[in-house]
Amino acid sequence: MTLPITINDQYFVLHQSGAIFWVRENVLMISDVHLGKVAHFRKHGFAIPHEAVHENFERLDNVVHFFKPNTIVFLGDLFHSKINNEWDLFATWVTEITARVVLVEGNHDIISKKHYSNLGIAIVPEMVIDGFLLTHHPDGREGYFNFCGHIHPGIYLRGIGRQSLRLPCFFQRPKQMILPAFGIFTGKYCLTPDTEDQVYLIAKDEVIPINTN
């Protein structure tokens, strides 16, 4: 279900949904939800199952209910494209939660800022909290540990007998943690870890650290 880790003497909890909870700050970080992606495709005539739409909100509910954070920070790509009916579902969801919501802008976030401010959601280009830099795109700035998204990291596992699996993962580099994509229908980009990297893969309902050798 979850895996606690330490970074720079701070406690973080990795959740199977792809979210990270920062214990001291009571902040829940979620990246690349891509709400509205299914609706966007359907609007353009691609029949992606509509049932998939509700799954994202169920996942959000589950993880928020689990950690009950004071603040939720979305590390970009909260909404996939132009506004569509899924916005109404999102608006409803926002009004039902008590946490403060912040969106760190990502490349897909093209919806006009006023829609977000109407819901009381602040939009920022980045966030800095005590030596930790929260962005959408990976940022290697000196002196900070970077939490980011955008990549939709995955890991490619090779088994014997020509078996292979691609699984989403938290990809940690010495000064950076790339969060997996939270949303359904988001795809993965497989990364190859170096020896100093740490990979936590998400398999079914577990977060599993793996040896990178």
Binders in 124-163 for another protein, by CB under 8 A: 159-163
Strand 2-7 and strand 27-30: the pairing is unpaired
The reply on whether position 108 binds another protein by CB under 8 A is yes
CB 28 → another protein: shortest distance, Å? 25
CB 40 → another protein: shortest distance, Å? 6
How far is residue 74 from each of residues 80, 102, 191, measured CA to CA in Å? 13, 6, 22
CB 80 → another protein: shortest distance, Å? 6
Three-class secondary structure of residue 113 per DSSP: helix
Q: Tell me, what amino acid is at 11?
A: Y
**Distance from C-alpha of 73 to C-alpha of 45, rounded to nearest angstrom:** 32
**Distance from C-alpha of 103 to C-alpha of 208, rounded to nearest angstrom:** 28
Stretch of 22-30, 49-57, 170-178, 205-213 contacting another protein, by CB under 8 A: 49-57
Q: Which is nearer to another protein, 90 or 171 (CB)?
A: 90
- Neighbouring CB atoms inside 10 A of 13's CB total 18
Q: Which is nearer to another protein, 84 or 172 (CB)?
A: 84
Lookup: tokens for 158: 């090779």
Stretch of 83-91, 94-102, 115-123, 201-209 contacting another protein, by CB under 8 A: 83-91
Interface residues with another protein (CB under 8 A)? 37, 39-53, 55, 80-81, 84-86, 88-89, 108, 159-164, 184-187
